[in-house]
Amino acid sequence: MNIWKRRLLFLAVLLPVMASAQTNDTVEKEIVRGWSVGAFPTISISNTLGFQYGLFGSLFYYGDGSTYPDPLHKFTAEASHFTGGRSRFYVTYDSKYLIPNWRLTLSALYMIDPLAFFYGFNGAAQPYDDFLDDHNYYCLDRRFLQVFANFQRELNDHLKIAGGLTFSRYKIADYDTAKYGTPAPLPTTTLSLYHNYINLGLISADEASGGNVLEARAGMVYDTRDIEAAPNRGMLLEVFLNGGLSQGNYNYLKLCAYFSQFHRIPLGFIPAGDPVFAYRLAYTGTMVGDVPFYMQQIISMLVPHTMLTEGLGSAKTMRGLFENRIVADGVAWANIELRVKLVKFTLWKQFFYFAVNPFFDCGLVTQPYRLDRQATAFGEEESVLKRKAQDLATAAGFGFKLAWNENFIITLEFARSFDPSLGNDFWFDAGVNYVF
């Protein structure tokens, strides 16, 4: 699918529609006090989904400013709709201070996605045809509710224990051909890859229409970062087990491990601040059990940076790849980037900076998903498909950032996948926050 048929996103970066409330008349030494509110229109356009409109915003409370740039409380919300059908409603709350020595993260998301992308299993092991992509072949109708709660308990300044629960309810079906059209001149038997996966037995009847899933997490966190939203130095290590119980006896246990590190490069001559070299190494894999197909693309996080983390292939995993292009029982990926602040300024007693971030992303399948069924369906040797699935996928790009009070970061990123069967020659995404 070319870029005009893909999800074309651009965010209108306007002046905040609400100013920040301060508890006194002066701000010294980059300390923000009281409430800080930022609300922005969410605007995008897609030839498939139509025009998106809505509102996105964050609310921070800094109290007397003693914890700045750490807010005492943070609320984020979005409500948006595409004229083509996609709607999403999201709210989250995060605080390290509501309960002493505990961090609490709560969120709720409801999404209606009548043309959700489904590119099959195991990345390059599933053949790709851009002609079929142009005709909605790689789409399905997905509607889901997700409610999320995570807790972290401080053991010392850097070490924490972590746990949490997520309830998800998925409803999956073929996309509405009456509304979006049959992929002519294809016969109805090739309505979609999802449709064919059911016919070929790659998706079982008891999971094909979705279901309810309850997940529980438990693990450890080691965190030495100086600033959470955009660190200048330090590291973050998260290791936890994520177990799921779902309809149809699809029970599983996954291991999730994420390591990121941040190194300030002491150049000294950039007024806005020294550049930061940052990288993340990530892995998630199934230890035991069978994961229902509609849950495989979900990347479990202790503290989500975005509304929903999926992939590989998204703005929060591998930039430049088609959305959810690499889905498997186990995946590993890396994000490497240089974060350079160009200019820093104060406006309305608030602190802003512009930054750029050239980056390189790579990833691969470490544990194929239902590869035996895939080999039977395609009439290929399993070893051949496994080799294709485990080839390294790579992409590179460049991003622009506008940060407000170190925490609210508007981002625009461009990328190119080096394998045209996995991603776009030209990909871009507009949103908030760094990828990690």
User: How many other C-beta atoms can be found within 10 angstroms of the C-beta atom of residue 90?
Assistant: 19
Question: Is 378 in contact with 385 (CB distance < 8 Å)?
Answer: yes
- The Cα-based distances of 320 to 120, 205, 230, 329, 395 in angstroms read 18, 33, 22, 22, 6
What sign results for the dihedral spanned by CA atoms 86, 91, 96, 102? Answer: negative
pLDDT of residue 136: 87
**Contact present, 4 and 14 (Cβ < 8 Å):** no
Alpha-carbon distances of 218 from 103, 156, 160, rounded to whole Å? 14, 18, 11
CA 295, CA 215: separation in Å to the nearest integer?
A: 11
Q: Which residues of 115-130 are buried (b: 16+ CB within 10 A; e: fewer)?
A: bbbbbbbbbbbbebee
pLDDT for 73: 94
Among residues 275, 419, 426, which one has the least CA distance to residue 357? Answer: 275
In which element (H, E) is residue 388 found? helix 382-389
Which run of H or of E encompasses 337? strand 330-347
Q: Is 124 helix (H, G, I), strand (E, B) or coil?
A: helix
pLDDT in tens, the chain (436 residues): 433 333 333 322 322 333 333 333 333 456 888 888 877 777 665 544 567 788 888 888 999 888 888 899 999 998 988 776 779 899 999 999 999 999 999 999 999 999 899 999 999 999 999 888 888 899 999 999 999 999 999 999 999 999 999 999 999 999 988 887 765 555 555 689 999 999 999 999 999 999 999 999 999 999 999 999 899 999 999 999 999 999 888 999 999 999 999 999 999 889 899 999 999 999 999 999 999 999 999 999 888 777 788 889 988 899 999 989 999 999 999 999 999 999 999 988 889 999 999 999 999 999 999 999 999 999 999 999 999 999 999 999 999 999 988 888 988 999 999 999 999 888 888 778 899 9
Please name which of 272, 323, 273 lies closest in space to residue 123, comparing C-alpha atoms: 323
- In the chain the first and final C-alpha atoms are separated, in Å, by 28
Residues 6+ apart with CB under 8 A from 204: 248
Instruction: Return the SS3 of 387.
Output: helix
CA-wise closest residue to 402 among 328, 350, 334, 325 = 350
- Each residue of 358-378: pLDDT tens digit? 999 999 999 999 999 999 999
Taking the C-alpha atoms of residue 301 and residue 254, their distance in angstroms, rounded to an integer, is: 12
Peptide bond into 127 cis (omega under 30): no
Sign of CA dihedral 268, 274, 277, 282: positive
DSSP, collapsed to helix, strand or coil, labels residue 378 as helix
Q: pLDDT at position 213, please?
A: 97
d(CA 164, CA 244): 12
Per-residue confidence (pLDDT) for residue 304, from 0 to 100: 77
Task: Write the pLDDT tens digit of every residue in 137-168.
Answer: 999 999 999 999 999 999 999 999 999 999 99
What secondary structure does DSSP assign to 208-247, as a single string?
TTEEEEEEEEEEEEEE--S-SSS-SSEEEEEEEEEEEEEG
